[in-house]
Amino acid sequence: MQLCVHAGTILHGLSTALVPPSHISQSFWVFIVLEPTKGDRDAKLVEIFAAFNEAWMKYWESYVRLQEELYESLRAGREVSWLAASDERKLSELNQMQRELFSGMPRRLDYAPLGQITRDLGAAPSKIADLEATLTLEEEGCRSLEAAIAIMKEKVAAMKEAIRTASH
């Protein structure tokens, strides 16, 4: 925090400019740099965590929306894959393979009871590092998903063309 003292008057928020404000003579102004108080640091932390929680809620909404879209894509893809079955045996094999794929899907995040939640700021750096590492992996996963989507779209276009050609 910086204060500018002029003839007994304290002016808050002035920068450390080398030129004094025009209404203050150069001989009477002095900047005093004060260390932030614990209250100032606590208020800043509250502000930072509030901004994080707002960003986290936007992330959460996007995640849930994407998850729903991905489930719909899986459902639609499953139905198209059944078209490849040339007979009941092949359809049964495809269905069994899909059942195994669906059973291996990751589970959803569990609710954390209040007794298991830690608010120890000493552990914050490692928790933040874990989040950062997970977000980096997620970015890589999204790039991989984008590549897989591009391949699927190519295959869909090829199927549409093949069906269009076969119908003529």
Does residue 33 contact residue 2 with C-beta atoms inside 8 Å? yes
CA atoms within a 13 Å half-sphere pointing along the CA-CB vector of 129: 5
Return the C-alpha torsion angle 97, 99, 104, 110, nearest 10. 170
Lowest mean pLDDT of 9-13, 26-30, 49-53, name the range: 9-13
Q: Would you say the pTM of this structure is higher than 0.75?
A: no
Does residue 14 contact residue 39 with C-beta atoms inside 8 Å? no
Q: At 31, is the pLDDT very low, low, confident or very high (cuts 50, 70, 90)?
A: low
Does 29 score more than 70 pLDDT? no
Structural domain boundaries of the chain?
A: 2-33
Does 75 score more than 70 pLDDT? yes
Average pLDDT of the segment spanning 31-43:
78
Tokens matching residue 63: 């995640």
Does 123 score more than 70 pLDDT? yes
pLDDT at position 21, please?
Answer: 56
Distance, in Å, from the CA atom of 103 to the CA atom of 123, rounded to the nearest integer, reads 35
